[in-house]
Amino acid sequence: MITSYTTDKIIIVSCSGLKNQGGRNMKGKTRFLVLLLLIAVFVSGCSLFGKKKGDVTVSLFLEDNTPLTGIELVLKKDAKVVKAKTNNDGKALFQVDDIGEYTITGEVVLYDGTKEAISKQINLKAGTNPEVPIKLATIGQLGITVVDKKAKPIANSELVISVGENEKKIPLEAEGKIQFYAKIGTYNLKAKINDFVSEISEVELTSKKLEKVLEINIETIEELAIGKAYEIFNLDINKTAHDADGTRLTDGIFGDPNKGPEDSSWASYNQSDKEKPCGFIVDLEAVKDLRAARVQAYQYHEWGVFIPSKISIELSEDKTTWSEPVIVEKESRAGETYDEWFEFTLAGNGRYVKVTIEPFTNLFMWLGEISVQGVEE
């Protein structure tokens, strides 16, 4: 006789009165009983095949629905810990293999190094759970851009944040921008670079994203010669030394003195006529307000290559009338291999920059770069 009864969700099957009738059908009955037991266990909900799985998306926002991105959240139940970072939409997906009561925790790092804690209890069920939104009403996000008087971003500037007597200085990114989180409240902001400082701007931060532009009343000095064409006068290009196409001196890549002549950033020239001046005329393509220039030269004593004795800079708007030359002279350090920068302070407008060079000898002259700095006129 076969009887069964259930205790604590497990069906017990009892086989009483079974007789081995000559062994006939015994194996078949045994298989039947085992199958019946497995079906009973499955129906009763006994989890012999693993724990129930679930997943949930947690979204993190400010009060104005600005997503908080890149924030690490932790989903925890007893000793079980699952971590995920919020994406660009402020959402983090968690998948667990054990449903039940969990705690969501995390923290948002603020501009001054303090942290705003996140904590929420959730009950995860099997399958996909409804999204869990978390809104932080105690902090906001500030986006700051620092510009010059022509509204161009200023690289390498500094933001100064004041709250009462407390002051925090933050270096800005190369684009003159920064974004950060802060507690809601009133802040005084100013930007500075070197000795130049913007006016103080007072902002009232609530639980939303706020964009602010700070202007420093200066002109941004820019590199103007990169990629610009130049003509060569009274010089023969050494075809084996890298400037056959006449672009090497304005490519923005300086020569490396440690690599020597093997560095393709160096360009070599010979003075055609020792009795005539030689050099280059760089075309900036438009009139600029020019402030400075630099020329990189190279001395390689093993080959008898020396830095120039003198370099001068002249400016012109029409390539006909030239300014008074600015001259820099240097003496060669005998027996040494090194690079030397000839630096010039300029004060004038010009489209054309004439670089006239007086070589130490007319044998070889190695140059790395012609750099011109200024502002748009």
Q: What is the mean pLDDT of residues 247-273?
A: 83
The Cα–Cα gap between 271 and 259 comes to 25
pLDDT the model gives residue 8 = 42
Task: Mark whether 93 and 183 lie in a shared domain.
Answer: no
Structural domain of 39: 2-44
pLDDT the model gives residue 101 = 95
Cβ distance 213 to 220 under 8 Å? no
Query: Is 20 a member of any domain?
Result: yes
Question: How many other C-beta atoms lie within 10 A of the C-beta of residue 308?
Answer: 25
Q: How far apart are the first and last CA of the chain?
A: 106
The Cα–Cα gap between 231 and 93 comes to 60
The pLDDT confidence band at residue 1, using thresholds 50, 70 and 90, is: very low
The Cα–Cα gap between 213 and 157 comes to 13
Pick from 221, 218, 178: nearest CA to 198: 218
The Cα–Cα gap between 265 and 87 comes to 43
Query: Is 73 a member of any domain?
Result: yes
The percentage of the chain sitting over the pLDDT mark of 70, rounded to a whole number, equals 83
**CATH number of the CATH domain containing 158:** 2.60.40.10
The Cα–Cα gap between 106 and 72 comes to 6
The Cα–Cα gap between 230 and 247 comes to 8
Task: Mark whether 237 and 259 lie in a shared domain.
Answer: yes
The pLDDT confidence band at residue 123, using thresholds 50, 70 and 90, is: very high
pLDDT the model gives residue 341 = 93
* pLDDT at position 214 over 70: yes
The backbone region for 164, taken as left when phi is positive above 0, alpha when psi lies in -120 to 50, beta otherwise, is left
Task: Mark whether 251 and 364 lie in a shared domain.
Answer: yes
Cβ distance 221 to 155 under 8 Å? no
Task: Mark whether 322 and 189 lie in a shared domain.
Answer: no
pLDDT the model gives residue 34 = 57
The Cα–Cα gap between 249 and 229 comes to 9
Task: Mark whether 249 and 346 lie in a shared domain.
Answer: yes
H, E, C per residue of 295-362: EEEEEEHHHCECCCCEEEEEEECCCCCCCCCEEEECCCCCCCCEEEEEEEEEEEEEEEEEEEEECCCC
**The pTM is what?**
0.54
The pLDDT confidence band at residue 334, using thresholds 50, 70 and 90, is: confident
pLDDT the model gives residue 84 = 97
Query: Is 273 a member of any domain?
Result: yes
pLDDT the model gives residue 242 = 64
pLDDT the model gives residue 271 = 81
Task: Mark whether 112 and 85 lie in a shared domain.
Answer: yes
User: Can you say whether the dihedral through the CA atoms of 174, 175, 180, 185 is positive or negative?
Assistant: positive
Task: Mark whether 154 and 256 lie in a shared domain.
Answer: no
The pLDDT confidence band at residue 43, using thresholds 50, 70 and 90, is: very low
Task: Mark whether 249 and 178 lie in a shared domain.
Answer: no
- Residues in Cβ contact with 35 at an 8 Å cutoff, skipping those fewer than 6 apart: none
* Total count of residues recorded for the chain: 377
Last residue in a domain, options 175, 198, 215:
215
Longest dimension (CA), the chain: 128
